[in-house]
Amino acid sequence: MPPRRPELPRADPEWVRGRAEIIQGQVIGPRFGMALAISGAGLFCMLVLTCAFSWAITHGHLNPVMARWVGYMIAAVVPVVIGVAIFLFLLVRFRRLIIGKERLQLTGSFGRLLGQLPYDNIEDISLGKVSTDNADVYIRLQNRRRRDTWWPRFEHGESYDVRVRGGFEIDGTALRLLLRDAVHAYRARRGLLR
């Protein structure tokens, strides 16, 4: 007789889509620092150019410097506009991860609940694609069709089910460790450790 497989946990009816509420937990917001750094660099360039232009005016070198100053100021405005656009995009989208005691949630702007992964449905958490400033986190589920489990996009044909892309306040390695600790603590409380 083959060994009996352990029964998979059932979905909590209070956590299904449309009935689930945003939970209390550690909130990880979007990374605004890069957008502000781009804008700050552009503003700094504009300040330096303005100082150089005022120096040229006081020393009588106005004509040759004027054409260059206008071109440099236009070039310095570009990073400011790009940084402000990225900042506004992140502010309107405003995705946050909430690491709770029993589940991981993804919320969007205006308090919308975009995704939820109960810890008893998470099989493995691993580090994905690593770039110079961030890394993705891959989450493999036991059953992606559970009613209390949903995410904006499930991956197909991969060894994982959910990819949490970078762009949050903490990097992918720290996020992976936080999620692993939360899942481990949940399993320890429920007596589910293997």
> pLDDT of 32-87, one tens digit each?
877 888 888 888 888 887 787 777 777 766 666 666 777 777 888 888 888 888 88
What residues does each domain of the chain span?
A: 34-92, 95-190
Phi-psi region of 73 (alpha: psi -120 to 50; beta: other; left: phi over 0): alpha
First to last CA, the chain: 23
> Domain 95-190 carries which CATH code?
2.30.29.30
pLDDT single digits (tens) 47-58: 887 787 777 777
Give 117's pLDDT tier (boundaries 50, 70, 90).
Answer: very high
Strand, coil or helix: what is 162?
A: strand
Q: Is the pTM of the predicted complex or chain greater than 0.75?
A: no
Give percent of the chain above pLDDT 70.
Answer: 85
Give 4's pLDDT tier (boundaries 50, 70, 90).
Answer: low
